[in-house]
Structure 1
Amino acid sequence: MTDRARTEAGNAEAGGEPAGTTVHAPAHPGLTAAEVAQRVAEGEVNDVPVRSSRSTAEIIRANVFTRFNAIIGVLFVIILIVGPLQDGLFGFVIVANTGIGIVQELRAKKTLDNLAVIGEARPTVRRDGVRARIPTAGVVLDDVIELGPGDKVVVDGEVLETDGLEIDESLLTGEADPVVKKPGEPVMSGSFVVAGGGAFTATKVGRQAYAAQLAEEASRFTLVHSELRSGISRILKYVTWMMIPTALGLILSHLLTLGLPADEAIRRMVAGIVPMIPEGLVLLTSVAFAIGVVRLGRQQCLVQELPAIEGLARVDVVCLDKTGTLTEGGMDVSALRVIGSASGGLEESGDGAERSEREDAYIERVLGALGASDPRPNASLQAIIDAYPADGGWRCTQSLPFSSARKYSGASLDDADGARTTWLLGAPDVLLPAGDHRLADIDDLNAQGLRVLLLARAERELDDPEVARGVRPTALVVLEQRLRTEAPDTLRYFAEQGVRAKVISGDNAVSVGAVAGKLGLPGSHAPVDARSLPARAEAMATALDRGAVFGRVTPQQKRDMVAALQSRGHTVAMTGDGVNDVLALKDADIGVAMGSGSEATRAVAQIVLLNNSFAALPSVVAEGRRVIGNITRVATLFLTKTVYSVLLAILVACCRIPYPYLPRHLTLLSTLTIGVPAFFLALAPNKERARPHFVRRVMRYAIPSGIITGLAAFATYLLARAHYSGPGALSAETSAATLTLFLTAMWVLAIIARPYTWWRIALVLAMGLGFLIVLVTPWLQDFFDLRLVGTTMPWAAVAVAAVAAVLLEITWREVDRRFPA
């Protein structure tokens, strides 16, 4: 424990000097300006690059040097050698797509980096005896760094001063219990303060710090580790396996069996391979995520890990901490009540019935001194400080900081006459014995949504583990909480979207239930005291499924509750702003922290609401659903093309006939039926609820659609081979087969574009118009080698496409029937 001088010095930093106190210089003044400059010159700086996004070089490298860009690049070079240039159009499309991906991700990087600066942890250091908040990267070796509740330890160091300093190292060691630190003991970067305060000197900075590399990796903006992206990667792996034997089969059949010239055989082989590659799928996924990040950034929502957008869209249970989430951080003292020794009831302050004005003033002085004893008061204590400022006549000799696990704080005080007393301030149902007759009256106050703290006089010393035992209750402090105006609408949104909200708080369960009831949360009428919850995960999960409001939850219980819900297959999001939420935020599928919350919560959360607005969560959910729903749509388009390309390659090899298409034909079809429409569909609004098993759901539609489309195109090709003969027959056959393939693929697009809106209809019609322009424009006919000959075969091609469209409709409806959403 520290002396009063150090505590008062901490008060000056925390928000001004309490009335009547004398602020002394800190015991350890820190480095001088000259010493800081010397260490900077010697490179002894905390130079670990903490960033929220990949570097520009990484973005360019990740978008350019991909497996399929390499394959397509090789095929493009081959076409440039054998010619003509129009058969190499697919190469220019890849260049354009890659450029779009780079530009969009750079936009997202700029947005994220700007937001990251706003949300960056700024530790308090002492230099030349003056306190200053500086960026994490500005810390140098031997800096003296102050710590308070919720602060993250940014570098390794050695403790200099403590004031009940308790540090949680569970994120590093896995040990759940906080560690009480004493001067001379080490602290590790990556840990955080759960109670008390103090100061330490930096002994290792930069990459030498224990958790530097871990922190750098954890804070990076990533594009991996999501069901969406892992599913796409699995699909691409299967496609790669199919490409090599297909390419060999095509080239050998065209060269050896059909005896085509080498350049013609190569062009037909390339035409069979290129459409197998869903080259735009990865690009559109990255673009959709990047644009989502930019949109959320405009709402001051920092996405520290990209898959968090997707993850929150899949959430079906959201656990909400009451303080700072459903309520604003500040509180107001609404009443001070004495506990009468005769009747035991609760009577208003100042009514003269049970105490004199002198007693009133005495209790107010005690509260003022308790407030002054904590250099970093929480919201409850700050309200008391505002209502009862210290008068300077009392001196704190020992303090016990508030802890979420204890549920109370305390101090030993010397009054103006030198008499020493020890006081505790905390939860009545923790400090009073079970069954105490006063608790019923306190419950009445809690039922009104008020927060109640008990001021009690302790008979034991503060460092006694059982200091709260046998205390003498003195007064109740009644606090009124400020509800967030946006909370009811947000809770209503979650209910409408099928997301169950669970309020998990350390406060009294009845009080939490009353607050939740005012906000319209279903199930708030039956709050549960977490102290009565079973310890076993299975039994706890059952209780959590039944209840909606839980009070008196310890930090470890919050973590256990998240794990219990996950054991039932739930995707869990956790919101919070205090150190008591850190463990649960870390273990939840998605952690959401408030920008005004502690450094520790912001460090472990995937999403930080910099404007502290709970109302931003629906926007994040909506962005995630837009990304998942739309990528599922466009993935079906891309994989339908992959399936029919593989099928066509197998059929022509088995039938020993030339591949019907040139690369230019499939580039045109891919652009009109997939590339351009997919770009618009990927960015469109989409409110469909995210569902699991991405690959399975996509392939249910893509495989039958691809088979029907491929068989329809091949049937028209066979009819055209029987119909046409003589010079130019192959071109006519290809043109007829291209017409059927385009019309069938357009029908797949028309199905995927549902439900129709004016712009979706316009998009489909515009793609059809584009193909019609190619068919009627002479120079485009020559460029793409597309010319419909006669009337019989073109109309036959249309008829085959019509039959395929009917089969597609039947198939999609059957899949919908068998696998409903």
Structure 2
Amino acid sequence: MTDRELVGLTSTEVAERVTRGEVNDVPNRSSRSTADIVRGNVFTRFNAVIGVLFLVILVVGPIQDGLFGFVIVANTAIGIIQELRAKKTLDSLAVVGEAKPVVRRDGTSRPVHTSEIVLGDLVELGPGDKAVVDGTVAESASLEIDESLLTGEADPVVKKSGDAVLSGSFVTAGSGAFTATKVGRDAYAARLAEEASRFTLVRSELRSGINTILRYITWLLLPVATALIISQLVVGRNDLAEAIRRTVAGVTPMIPEGLVLLTSVAFAIGVVRLGRKQCLVQELPAIEGLARVDTVCLDKTGTLTEGGMDVSEVHLLEGRGIGAESPAGRALAALGAADSRPNASLRAVIDAYPGGVPDGWRIVEAAPFSSARKWAGARLAAGPDAPERTWLLGAPDVLLPAGHPVLREADERGARGLRVLLLGRTDAALDEVAPGTEVEPVALVALEQRLRPDAAETLRYFAEQGVAVKVISGDNAVAVGAVAGQLGLDGADHPVDARQLPSAEEDPDKLAEMLESNSVFGRVTPQQKRDMVAALQSRGHTVAMTGDGVNDVLALKDADIGVAMGSGSEAARAVAQIVLLNNSFSSLPSVVGEGRRVIGNIERVANLFLTKTVYSVLLALLVVFVALPYPFLPRHLTLLSSLTIGIPAFFLALAPNRERARPGFVKRVLRYAVPAGVIAGAAAFTSYLIARQEYPHDFRAATSATTLTLFLVALWVLAMVARPYTWWRVGLVLAMAAGFAGVLTIPWFQHFFQLRLVGTEGPWVAVGIAAVASAVLEAVWRVVRRRVSVH
């Protein structure tokens, strides 16, 4: 590259490229578009069915029987409004959390939005940065790029001037700059994913389970509805309008339309709640996934400890003097100056030994820190005529052979929770440094790590919730164990050196066994982190991985849920499903709790909706077989649905819930809903048959008695679903009972809903049938609960 090209584009050149459309215009959305949200809530198969039924009722009247149509309109509006709120939250948080690549224009480095990069821009790179467009390397200072997320190649690739850079890859070590050669939809990553969107609907057991249930209902709906329509037309041949009304009443409650609405609303409100706590949810089902997590893997640095560190001690191993003018001090200052993008450890050294390259010293060559090799180094000359020597700063147990006496001193400091680095030198060239290289130890540099004040409390929360915590770090195992011990983590007293673990290829079962029986692991390489996540998943664990550095990217990508810190590397944030923008580890309990609230409560209210579907189908079939008029009008079932399902389900879906989610959503819900629906339907039909004998010429009285029975049984289902009781849940059930009592006693409501209890014997028989059905329901419910608990 010429000096002119290394200056970058001028403002005029950028403007010309923007005019020509040579910009990185791939949409970087954090949520669905407004049109998609409206379309997804309005144009559903069940809305279409209910819409047609509503139009039919508008034709035959009266309007009271079309209340279900207004309910659907309200439900759809609520769903749209809540999702738009979630979209607004997601979009605003995405802007805050968006990493801004640095480009060089007019000779000056400046951050820009990803969408503002133009063809020919000179984009600067450093450790943790992600390449957002394709390009060609213009300058390289030991630049190493990981392309594993694109190509599957595990080892970082050393990039030199002229080498290609693919969008979607990220820098693991070194720094440099590349010229953008392909932007927008022409870039490699954009071609791989037809749509470059940070919001993707990954697999969700909750969504797929509900879709499965809806598919079953769709299959049932058509034949049952057809049979009901024919039977009502035959039975009610003298009153076509009445037959149509009762047919609509039989078909409408079969559709659990509110279940889909509440799922969307619960997810959307979860996003908004987490957004208020500065948690960016990049994939909605991540909220659900967190509810299933039983193992959390934590990277120590940046998670249990804060990012910054301080040099607490420099212990000289030879000669005297550790000040800035000593050989050791000068070497540390030179190593700090040799890395243009220092990590937290080297930044602490720079703070302790500022001033850059000492007078008379010169940097011949430099190798930035790499998580894979665990050291940084530089080829230095202490004077114009001084011989060149390689100085290294890194992990003592990596640079020195096992059993070396200096390692004992390093372990003593590590046992106090300090991060210990070795300053050493060798005559070997930088590219020849490898395990076994003769390194002359010069000094031990002890760094004090700052524990997060909320880490201990967060670990206690996970212990109370039965979530296993695994600390996996690239640091010395003893030092990691000491930090974890200070925070009260069980198992911190026997940390494991990951270099002693079997590889995933050699003995995956042994690796999984070691991970299950231990809590703290040190000297873990990036590839090992990935293998550890896979090993835990092989034992049936749902794994969440937290991290902030490039060494965490592969594990974050493979974990069931990846959680990145907002201040972490761009690559880590890009692959994580959840980003903690406030960098607060204490936000994790809120995130996990929100996931449990969503999935636990949706499962809870799904029992209500599917119970209604089952008893509606059963009643329709019984009416068809016995050739009777359907016992209800649409207004009756709208009332029942609102008081026993719709209103209470909305409150129950948003209540706190700490129970960890388990797989098998569909089976578990059907085990409860099918017997409950059968019992409720049988009780209502029995009451209907008896009421027809009691009131042979008063169909309204028979309908009222049947409605009373069905309401009481459905209310008991609600009371069971609402357990364990709290004051507001008891109040909710009582309020629904009071609402129905008001309908039966207030004349205006009696007339509006055509409900009026006649005499005393008929209503008490209806109550008695409901009481028996509720007792049977309670017994069956307890038996099912015990069986589900066992499994």
Q: TM-score by structure 1 length?
A: 0.93
Which of 734, 739, 751 in structure 2 is aligned with 1:765? 734
Name 1:343's counterpart in structure 2.
none
Could you say if the C-alpha distance between residues 395 and 659 of structure 1 is closer, same or farther in structure 2, counting changes exceeding 3 Å?
A: same
| Maintained 8 Å contact 2:236/2:242 | no
Instruction: Call closer, same or farther: CA 1:561–1:497 in 2, change over 3 Å.
Output: same
Q: 1:631 aligns with which of 602, 606, 612?
A: 602
Instruction: Tell me, in whole angstroms, the C-alpha distance in 2 between the residues paired with 1:308 and 1:84.
Output: 46
Is 1:402 the equivalent of 2:369? yes
> How many Å separate the matches in 1 of 2:122 and 2:493?
50
SS of the aligned residue for 1:355 comes to: coil
Give how far 1:65 is off: 0.8
CA distance in 2, matches of 1:326, 1:64: 45
Q: In the TM superposition, what whole-angstrom CA distance separates every residue of 1:361-416 from its partner, at most 9, and x where no partner exists?
A: 11101100100000000000000000011254222121111111101111112324
Partner of 1:449: 417
Partners in 2 of 1:571 and 1:610 — Cα distance?
A: 24
* Pair 1:26–1:404, CA change in 2 (3 A): farther
State the partner residue of 1:144.
122
Query: What value does the CA root-mean-square deviation take over the aligned residues?
Result: 1.7
- Residues of 2 paired with 1:357 and 1:55: CA distance? 60
Kept in 2: contact 1:140–1:205 (CA 8 A)? yes
Shift of 1:212: 2.1
Match in the other structure for 2:641: 670
Deviation at 1:421, TM superposition (A): 2.1
Deviation at 1:360, TM superposition (A): 6.3
* Residues 560-571 of structure 1 aligned to structure 2 (within 5 Å): 560-571=531-542
Of residues 89, 96, 109 in structure 2, which corresponds to 1:118?
A: 96
Q: 619, 629, 633: which one pairs with 1:658?
A: 629
SS at match of 1:402: strand
Once residues 323 and 87 of structure 2 are traced to their aligned partners in structure 1, the CA distance between those partners, rounded to angstroms, is 62
Q: SS state of the match for residue 6, structure 2? A: coil
Distance 2:369 2:255 in 1: 60
Inter-CA distance 772–714: structure 2 relative to 1 (3 Å threshold):
same
Query: Compared with structure 1, are the counterparts of its residues 222 and 166 closer, same or farther at alpha carbon in structure 2 (3 Å cutoff)?
Result: closer
- Structure 1 stretches of 4+ with a deviation exceeding 4 A read 213-219, 356-360
- Equivalent of 1:388 in 326, 350, 353: 353
CA shift at 1:478, angstroms? Answer: 1.0
Distance 1:217 1:762 in 2: 48
- Residue by residue over 1:521-561, the C-alpha shift from the partner in whole angstroms, topping out at 9 and shown as x without a partner, is 00000100101101122110001011100001010000000
Give the match for residue 190 of structure 1: 168
Q: TM-score, normalised by structure 2?
A: 0.97
> Which of the numbers 226, 229, 252 marks the counterpart of 2:207?
229
Alignment match, 2:666 = 695
Partner of 1:133: 111
Per-residue CA deviation, residues 237-296 of structure 1 (Å, 9 max, x unaligned), is 101100000011111112236635332222222111110111101111111111111111
Q: 1:774 aligns with which of 740, 743, 753?
A: 743
Q: Distance in 2 between matches of 1:234 and 1:430?
A: 53
Instruction: Output aligned runs, 1:299-378, within 5 Å.
Output: 299-340=277-318, 354-355=319-320, 361-378=326-343
**Which residue of the partner structure matches residue 159 of structure 2?**
181
State the percentage of identical aligned residues: 70
Conserved? CA contact 1:48–1:216, under 8 Å: no
Q: 1:748 to 1:218 in 2, by over 3 A?
A: farther
Q: Does the CA contact (< 8 Å) of 1:586 and 1:605 recur in 2?
A: yes
Aligned equivalents of 1:778, 1:742: Cα separation in 2? 19
1:6-17 → structure 2 map (5 Å cutoff): none
- In 1, Cα distance between equivalents of 2:635 and 2:251: 13
Residue 213 of structure 1: how far off its partner (Å): 5.5
Structure 1 residues 493-537: Cα deviation after superposition (integer angstroms, max 9, x where no partner): 000000000000011111100111011100000100101101122
**More divergent stretch after superposition (772-781 vs 730-739):** 772-781
More divergent stretch after superposition (320-329 vs 43-52):
43-52
2:322 and 2:603 map into 1 onto residues whose CA distance is 71
**1:271-286 → structure 2 map (5 Å cutoff):** 271-286=249-264
Please tell me whether residue 427 in structure 1 is matched to residue 405 in structure 2. no
Offset, 1:357: 7.3
Does structure 1 conserve the Cα–Cα contact (< 8 Å) formed by 2:426 and 2:440? yes
SS of the residue corresponding to residue 819 of structure 1 reads helix
CA offsets 1:159-192 (integer angstroms, 9 cap, x no match):
1111111111111111111111111111111110
Question: What is residue 567 of structure 2 aligned with on the other side?
Answer: 596
In structure 2, the residue matched to 1:546 is 517
Counterpart-to-counterpart distance in 2, 1:201 and 1:590? 34
Distance in 2 (CA, whole Å) between partners of 1:677 and 1:772 is: 16
Secondary structure of 1:507 counterpart: coil
CA distance in 1, matches of 2:430, 2:225: 79
Residue 86 (structure 1) aligned with residue 64 (structure 2):
yes
SS in 2 for 1:600: helix
Kept in 2: contact 1:333–1:383 (CA 8 A): yes
2:330 partner letter? R
- CA distance in 1 between partners of 2:733 and 2:195 (Å): 43
Does residue 513 (structure 1) correspond to residue 481 (structure 2)? The answer is yes
Instruction: Say if 2:28 and 2:196, in contact at 8 Å, map to a contact too.
Output: no
CA spacing shift, 1:411–1:783, aligned 2, 3 Å? same
Instruction: Provide, for residues 725-750 of structure 1, a one-character-per-residue CA deviation record: whole Å limited to 9, x for no partner.
Output: 23xx2222111111100111011111
Q: Amino acid of the residue matched to residue 509 of structure 1?
A: A
The size of the alignment, in residue pairs, is 784
Please list the CA deviations of residues 138-179 of structure 1 after superposition, one character each: whole Å capped at 9, or x if unmatched: 101000000011000000111111111111111111111111
Deviations 1:47-102 (A, max 9, x none): 11111111111111111111111111111111112222111111110000010111
CA distance in 2: counterparts of 1:435 and 1:57, whole angstroms: 66
Structure 1 contact 219–304 (Cα < 8 Å) conserved: no
Give the letter for the 1:786 counterpart: L
Partner of 1:537: 508
8 Å CA contact 1:424, 1:468 repeated in 2: no
Tell me whether 1:740 sits opposite 2:709 in the alignment. Answer: yes
Aligned CA distance change for structure 1 residues 518 and 216 (closer, same or farther; 3 Å): farther
Amino acid aligned to 2:183: V
1:819 deviates by 2.2
Match of 2:245 in 1: 267
Give CA deviations for 1:347-368 in whole Å, capped at 9, x if unaligned: xxxxxxx425799611101100
Give the deviation of 1:796 after TM superposition: 0.7
Equivalent residue, structure 2, for 1:18: none
Return the offset for 1:809.
Answer: 1.2
- Correspondences of 1:613-652 after superposition (within 5 Å): 613-652=584-623
Aligned residue among 770, 786, 791 for 1:801: 770
Q: 1:412 is matched with which residue?
A: 379
Preserved CA contact (<8 Å) 1:190 1:215: no
1:258 and 1:656 in contact (8 A); partners too: no
Is the 1:652–1:659 Cα contact (8 Å) retained in structure 2? Answer: yes
Tell me if the contact between 1:50 and 1:216 (Cα under 8 Å) persists in the aligned partners. Answer: no
Alpha carbons 2:398, 2:435 under 8 Å: kept: no
Deviation at 1:214, TM superposition (A): 5.2
Whether contact under 8 Å (1:54, 1:220) holds in the other structure is: no
Distance across 1 between alignment mates of 2:233 and 2:287: 50
Give the CA deviation at 1:203. Answer: 0.6
The structure-2 alpha-carbon separation of the partners of 1:75 and 1:392, relative to structure 1 and needing over 3 Å to count, comes to same
Q: Does 1:159 align with 2:137?
A: yes
CA distances 1:453-477 after superposition (whole Å, capped 9, x unpaired): 1111121111226487112111111
For 1:12, the equivalent position in structure 2 comes to none
2:437 aligned with 1:460: no
Does the residue aligned with 2:502 lie in a helix, a strand or coil?
coil
- List runs of 5+ in structure 1 lacking aligned partners: 7-24, 341-353
Of the three residues 248, 251, 254, the one matched with 2:232 is 254
CA distance in 2, matches of 1:756, 1:503: 38
Judged with a 3 Å threshold, the aligned counterparts in structure 2 of structure 1 residues 633 and 361 are, in CA distance, closer, same or farther, namely same
Deviation of residue 222 (structure 1)? 4.6
Instruction: Give the Å deviation of 1:432.
Output: 0.3
Supply the distance in 2 between the matched residues of 1:137 and 1:730 (Cα, whole angstroms).
68
In 1, distance between residues paired with 2:593 and 2:327? Answer: 55
